[in-house]
Amino acid sequence: MSLPSTPLRLAAAVVVLLLAILLPFVVTGGAAKNLVVLALLFAVVASNWDLTLGYAGIFNFAHVAFFGIAGYVSAIATIYFGLPVWLDIALAVAVVAVLAGVTAALALRLRGIYVALVTFAFVQLCVALIISQKWLTGGAVGLVGVPDLALFGHRLSPSGPDYLILAELLLIASTVFLRFLVRSDFGLSIVALRDNEAYAVARGISATRQRVLAMVASSLFTAAAGAVYAHYLIVASPDVFSFSLTTLILSMVLLGGGATIYGPIMAAIALTVVTEQLAGFGVVRFMIIAVLIVLTLRFLPGGLWSLGERLTVLRRNSKQGIGA
């Protein structure tokens, strides 16, 4: 993968940081702020999914369920057991990590498409359990009354910039974590397994262990985002397990470009905004998004991110005078 040169990357990082600092001051309107919070949280979910789907090539369709389950863990821990806030988020991350590990260990006995089918079925199991165990989960309505987060006695308020800043911090932390992972030996090993399993295994890489670890790693920030989401909305709702949310987040990964981390983040923000802009079109917007997905896969298989990469390469080549 060709990334921009170091000074360029530095400049990009500075710009992004500046934007991040400015964002809470610029976006103050209720609806717009809500949109940005959602976009940032979905960006966390999409980019973490990219770790398993894009880098490791695991057809894990339970990823968005990790997000949803974390919300329920948070809600149950705070509402029924009075666990202090923040601790419940840590608990949600821990529970989901274990769950991801177990799911991976079971599902990864299978190959390719079977993994997709079984993880899909797993999501259905979650939904059914949540809807049926009304006494614990609130059933189809969801579990309402998740307390607001608080810091040093200050309650994070949904009307102020607090959740926006929190979502930003979460996304930055998650992105640093993911970029570090994919460039580490671990990241190289899961890509090697994806591209040529027999060869990678012959080189001494343990296929199952690395894949299980990838699933667990991808679940950590996803779960944190899910817990924050529940705090933010004050409710853990079964809606997050719906096929349409999985489809939406999947489109973020794909439109952005798999195995890039940055691509899905960009696409998450773009898609959330576009979806909102198209809100006037009603259901037609989903038809438009569907067409966009197919067109992107057809004509830009590397996603939007690859477009940026191509431009950078072109420019660098022409600068060095080797552009034909």
Partner 1 sequence: MSSVIVAGLVSGSIYALIASGLSLVWGALGVFNFAHGALLMAGAFVAWFVSDPAGLDLGLTAGVLTSMIFMIAAGGVLYVLLVRPWLGKPAAELTVIMTTVAGAMFLENLALYTFGARLKALDQVVTGTVSVAGTAMQAQNLLVIVLAPVLLGGLALFLKLSKHGLAIRAIAQNDEAARLLGIRIERTYFLTFAVSALLAGVAGVMIGGLFNITPSMGSDPLLRAFLVVVFGGLGSLPGTVIAAYLIGLIEAASSYYIGIYWTPVVLFSVLILVLLVRPNGLLGRAP
Query: Which stretches of the chain bind partner 1, using CB under 8 A?
Result: 53, 57, 59, 106, 109-114, 116-118, 120-122, 124-125, 127-129, 131-133, 243-244, 247, 250-251, 254, 282-284, 286-287, 289-291, 293-294, 297-298, 301
Return d(Cα 273, Cα 83) in angstroms, integer: 35
Nearer Cβ to partner 1, position 73 or 130?
A: 130
Burial class (CB in 10 A: 0-12, 13-18, 19+), 194: middle
Contacts of 294 (CB under 8 A, 6+ apart): none
Q: How far is the CB of 53 from partner 1 (least distance, A)?
A: 8
Residue from 140, 134, 136, 150 nearest 81 by CA: 136
Nearer Cβ to partner 1, position 42 or 59?
A: 59
Question: CA-CA distances (angstroms) from residue 126 to 32, 70, 193, 211?
Answer: 32, 12, 29, 22
Beta bridge partners of 143: 236
Nearer Cβ to partner 1, position 273 or 293?
A: 293
In the chain, DSSP finds a helix count (H) and a strand count (E) of 14, 4
Residue from 165, 148, 131 nearest 36 by CA: 165
Q: How far is the CB of 194 from partner 1 (least distance, A)?
A: 10
Q: How far is the CB of 133 from partner 1 (least distance, A)?
A: 8
Nearer Cβ to partner 1, position 16 or 125?
A: 125
> What are the phi and psi torsion angles at 142 (to 5°)?
100, 170
- CA-based R_g, the chain, Å: 20
CA 323 to chain centre: 37
Nearer Cβ to partner 1, position 5 or 133?
A: 133
Q: How far is the CB of 37 from partner 1 (least distance, A)?
A: 24
Q: How far is the CB of 286 from partner 1 (least distance, A)?
A: 4
Q: How far is the CB of 259 from partner 1 (least distance, A)?
A: 11
Q: How far is the CB of 192 from partner 1 (least distance, A)?
A: 16
What stretches of the chain adopt beta strand conformation (E)? 143-144, 150-151, 154-155, 235-236
**Cβ proximity of 39 and 268 under 8 Å:** yes
Q: How far is the CB of 177 from partner 1 (least distance, A)?
A: 24
Return d(Cα 77, Cα 65) in angstroms, integer: 18
Nearer Cβ to partner 1, position 111 or 319?
A: 111
Nearer Cβ to partner 1, position 76 or 118?
A: 118
